[in-house]
Amino acid sequence: MPTRAQASLPRDREGALNAVLSALRVVWCCAGPLIVAGIGLSLTGAALHSAWLVTVGGVIVLMGTGHALRCHRLRRLGLAGPDDCCSAVDMPTGRNVD
């Protein structure tokens, strides 16, 4: 007979997978163009052998991703308004307890 912890394991994995997919969707929705621009700048810097362009491109990618993940977290906590972050992605506020 499975214990309660074993029975809830698949639900926990499903919740974790949903959280990761939701975060990826927010990152792509909100920071997708910025990430593409940063990658393009890094590739251009690599082709020109310019460490500065590669570094700036990497910083742009990290800033865009960090901002999108921060917005994702604030919206999940209910601390961000609809105009504060990427409003195209519907995010539930608070946590559901089954």
Domain assignment of residue 23, yes or no: yes
| Residue 3: band (very low, low, confident or very high) from pLDDT cuts 50, 70, 90 | low
Domain assignment of residue 4, yes or no: no
Scan for tokens 């609809």, then name that residue. Answer: 82
Residue of 30, 18, 17, 16 lying closest to 66 (CA atoms): 30
Domain assignment of residue 98, yes or no: no
Domain assignment of residue 49, yes or no: yes
Number of domain units in the chain: 1
The 10s digit of each residue's pLDDT in 17-63 is: 887 887 788 777 778 888 889 999 999 999 999 999 999 999 999 99
Give the model's pLDDT for residue 98: 45
Domain assignment of residue 67, yes or no: yes
Domain assignment of residue 45, yes or no: yes
Domain assignment of residue 42, yes or no: yes
Q: For the whole prediction, is pTM greater than 0.75?
A: no
Domain assignment of residue 3, yes or no: no
Provide the residue range defining the domain that includes 26: 9-77
Tell whether the model's pLDDT for residue 92 goes beyond 70: no
